[in-house]
């Protein structure tokens, strides 16, 4: 009890300190230009049908999104590399093929492409030909990619048109998108707040109407956190389903590769499955086209992991989950409250699991294994003469050096956390059968103000632990909170390879609660 009281007191003090620092950033709500083009408010699923029928030209759609990006990017700083001219030329070529195929269906199979003419954006850490892939490192500022990552090629082969790449944190190390090369990305609902990370540019641009659908990557919540903060949908797939070739930085060790996944981010829940089917290595193992009967599904609910050192879930987060539970109960679905005490240690279980391998040190990775970064020296430089690395990167290097040593991994507390992680995995396997979904917070509170994340990093345990569990997780957004007027949502977890269950549940709940709420006015022509 005394320890819990101390940890809770420390947590409250840290949060209060962070909130006080955030007062220098005055709220900047509803600053985005209104949307006047109805094309920007339609799902990819709808738009593909219109393009295939000849009702809509891909060029028209691509130009609409390019125009919107130019409208909003000065406010949110989300797109950091564009290929607008090439995208327009590709759209024109597709339109010509479509016109010929509509006149003579046997002349071309273009109408069979599942993403025909749909504009995409891609997280900057995923290789796109001709675009930067720096991961925010100053040393890579002049680098441009010669080829597409395999996953980007899959999108192109399915008919997608890439508009550009979006902002990331330095070396993808943080849950706030900011770096020395491109600067920081702002939350579209309130420019004084963060967009999340590490797929924060993607989340912000999609929510602002500047992108329809995109790709992010996730090793500890990097798809789900910006999806939560920016009020959109995001899916972290089961492990080992999608190739990460062409993604930088590397995981550093084969054992870590299964924890880092690439997945879809979008405004409309119905589009997640459409995108996901095109990027997985083997659709058959996931049975994505099999119908899902959610009436036979058990929904387990957890509103807090009761960790005294994490921020307590806000009223908006708790009420959002409760409203979903009430709806499902009233509709006759099976709903069960649950507690998982081991989740209290989630963040530290994730840290130790990531560190429990023999791999190059972070200090070597951030300089691309050309020597090793001196974290202390660069931290001092960042406060004095200036450093090419952000302070948070230097501090991560310093902290990682403390746990990377082989003798540290032999400590009892370290091994106990590894054992706890395995015990939690067994518990989840016993609970999450082929017809079960676990619903819990993605994060406990609304997006912090800029520079307000450091003393809150433990909160990311809510998302990070499920990378270690290798489970599929979908973030579902259900509108804005009554108290905060910022996006509210939660994550849904299923048994590994049961991705179709959480995707189906997101569609169901989106239909009921409305999903994404625009952070701008609509003035349709």
Binding-site annotation: residue ranges for substrate = 172, 198, 219-222
Q: What's the Cα-to-Cα distance from 53 to each of 46, 57, 99, 478, 498, rounded to whole Å?
A: 11, 10, 9, 32, 33
User: CA nearest 321: which of 492, 504, 516?
Assistant: 492
Per DSSP, which regions of 167-280 are E strands? Answer: 186-187, 190-194, 213-218, 233-236, 261-266
Q: Which contiguous run of DSSP H or E holds residue 119?
A: strand 119-123
Q: Which contiguous run of DSSP H or E holds residue 81?
A: strand 79-82
Residue 217 has phi, psi (to 5 degrees) of -125, 160
- If one counts every other C-beta atom within 10 angstroms of the C-beta of residue 426, the result is 9
The question of whether 107 is a catalytic residue gets the answer no
- Which listed residue (52, 123, 236, 310) is catalytic? 123
Per DSSP, which regions of 276-420 are E strands? Answer: 298-301, 334-337
Residues 6+ apart with CB under 8 A from 407: none
CA atoms of 117 and 382, how far apart (whole Å): 45
* 524 CA to centre of own chain: 29
- Which listed residue (58, 125, 198, 382) is catalytic? 198
Instruction: Check if the beta carbon of residue 523 is closer than 8 Å to that of residue 36.
Output: yes
SS3 of 186, please? strand
161 has which bridge partners?
Answer: 119
SS3 of 197, please? coil
Per DSSP, which regions of 383-498 are E strands? Answer: 436-440, 473-480, 487-493
CA atoms of 100 and 91, how far apart (whole Å): 14
The question of whether 123 is a catalytic residue gets the answer yes
CA atoms of 413 and 398, how far apart (whole Å): 20
Q: Which residue has the tokens 């991961």?
A: 135
Residue list, annotated binding site = 172, 198, 219-222
The question of whether 304 is a catalytic residue gets the answer no
- Which listed residue (192, 207, 211, 222) is catalytic? 222
Token couple for 330: 């009233």
Residues labelled as active-site residues: 123, 198, 222
């Amino acid at each position: 009890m005394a320890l819990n009281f101390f940890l809770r007191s420390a947590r409250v003090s840290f949060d209060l300190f962070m909130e006080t620092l955030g007062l220098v950033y005055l709220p900047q709500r509803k600053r985005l230009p209104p949307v006047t083009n109805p094309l920007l408010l339609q799902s990819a699923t709808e738009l593909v049908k219109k393009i295939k029928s000849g009702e809509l030209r891909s060029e028209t759609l691509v130009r609409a999104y390019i125009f919107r990006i130019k409208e909003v990017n000065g406010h949110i700083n989300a797109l950091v590399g564009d290929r607008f001219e090439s995208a327009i030329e590709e759209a024109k070529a597709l339109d010509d093929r479509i016109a010929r195929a509509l006149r003579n269906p046997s002349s071309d199979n273009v109408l069979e492409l599942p993403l025909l003419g749909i504009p995409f954006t891609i997280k900057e850490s995923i290789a796109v030909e001709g675009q930067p892939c720096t991961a925010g490192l100053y040393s890579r500022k002049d680098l441009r990619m010669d080829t597409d990552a395999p996953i980007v090629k899959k999108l192109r082969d399915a008919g997608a048109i890439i508009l550009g790449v979006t902002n990331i944190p330095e070396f993808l190390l943080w849950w706030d998108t900011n770096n020395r090369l491109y600067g920081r990305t702002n939350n579209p609902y309130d420019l004084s707040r963060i967009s999340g990370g590490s797929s924060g540019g993607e989340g912000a641009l999609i929510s602002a109407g500047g992108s329809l659908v995109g790709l992010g990557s996730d090793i500890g919540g990097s798809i789900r956190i910006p999806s939560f903060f920016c009020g959109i949908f995001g899916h972290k797939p089961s492990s080992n389903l999608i190739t990460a070739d062409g993604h930088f930085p590397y995981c550093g060790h084969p054992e870590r590769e299964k924890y880092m996944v690439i997945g879809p981010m979008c405004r409309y829940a119905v589009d997640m499955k459409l995108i996901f089917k095109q990027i997985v290595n083997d659709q058959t193992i996931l049975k994505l086209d099999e119908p899902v009967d959610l009436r036979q599904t058990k929904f387990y609910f957890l509103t807090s992991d009761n960790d005294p050192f994490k921020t307590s879930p806000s009223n908006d987060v708790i009420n959002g989950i409760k409203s979903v539970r009430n709806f499902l109960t009233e509709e006759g679905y099976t709903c069960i409250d649950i507690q998982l005490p081991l989740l209290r240690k989630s963040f530290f279980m994730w840290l130790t699991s990531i560190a429990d391998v023999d791999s190059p040190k972070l200090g070597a990775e951030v300089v691309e294994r050309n020597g090793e970064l001196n974290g202390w020296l660069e931290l001092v430089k960042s406060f004095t003469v200036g450093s090419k690395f952000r302070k948070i990167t230097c501090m991560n290097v310093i902290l990682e050096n403390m746990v990377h040593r082989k003798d540290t991994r032999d400590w009892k507390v370290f091994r106990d956390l590894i054992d706890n992680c395995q015990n939690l995995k067994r518990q989840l396997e016993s609970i999450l059968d082929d017809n079960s979904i676990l619903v819990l917070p993605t994060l406990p509170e609304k997006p912090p103000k800029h520079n307000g994340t450091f003393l809150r990093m433990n909160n990311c345990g809510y998302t990070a632990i499920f990378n270690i569990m290798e489970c599929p997780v979908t973030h579902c957004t259900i509108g804005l909170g009554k108290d905060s007027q910022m996006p509210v949502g939660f994550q849904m977890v299923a048994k590994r390879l049961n991705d179709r269950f959480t995707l189906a549940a997101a569609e169901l709940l989106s239909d009921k609660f409305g999903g994404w709420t625009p952070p701008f006015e609509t003035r349709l022509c």
